[in-house]
């Protein structure tokens, strides 16, 4: 199983989801490949946001050597699932994804049984926003892994 998680810039939500999903899969002994990307390539080559990294580290997750990148056409072919952080990211993906791969697209939190299906962007908020994003991503990751 190969999963790509996508947000807008690939510096906050999607690298966090990549780290959480990968770590939780490893802890369950599941062999899945997880990567992340952004719908825009504005932050290409940058490290994840330091606030995201600090929040993740406090819960035992690591971003490793992650560098931001944009979604490529090859991603639609390569990955089995492409999970968007929010509805705008999903719409952006639907707009560039070839029709034969549209079935791979969904929201990361879709079907997780939470009060929302969207992971809010914490970039312009305070540290509590990054903690809330982690809470949502942990719940969503558990649901995704339970379905594998």
Give catalytic status of residue 13 as yes or no.
yes
Cα 129 to the center of its chain, rounded Å: 16
Give catalytic status of residue 12 as yes or no.
no
Q: Which candidate in 7, 22, 69, 97 is catalytic?
A: 7
Q: Which candidate in 22, 49, 121, 135 is catalytic?
A: 121
Q: Which candidate in 12, 13, 51, 75 is catalytic?
A: 13
CB 37 within 8 A of CB 70: yes
In the 8-state DSSP scheme, what is residue 11?
S
Give catalytic status of residue 41 as yes or no.
no
Cβ burial, residue 46 (10 Å; 0-12/13-18/19+): middle
- Please list the active-site residues: 7, 13, 121
């Amino acid at each position: 199983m190969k999963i790509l998680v996508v947000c807008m810039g690939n510096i906050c939500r999607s690298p966090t989801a990549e780290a959480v999903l990968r770590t939780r899969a490893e802890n369950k002994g599941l062999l899945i490949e997880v990567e992340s990307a952004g719908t825009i390539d504005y932050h290409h080559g940058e490290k994840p946001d330091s606030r995201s990294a600090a929040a993740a580290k406090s819960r035992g997750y690591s971003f490793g050597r992650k560098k931001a990148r944009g979604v490529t056409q090859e991603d639609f072919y390569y990955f089995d699932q492409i999970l968007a952080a929010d509805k705008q990211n999903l719409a952006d993906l639907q707009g560039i994804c070839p029709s034969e791969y549209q079935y791979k697209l969904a929201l990361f939190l879709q079907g997780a049984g939470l009060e929302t299906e969207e992971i809010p962007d914490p970039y312009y908020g305070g540290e509590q926003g990054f903690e809330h994003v982690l809470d949502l991503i942990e719940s969503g990751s558990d649901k995704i892994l339970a379905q594998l």
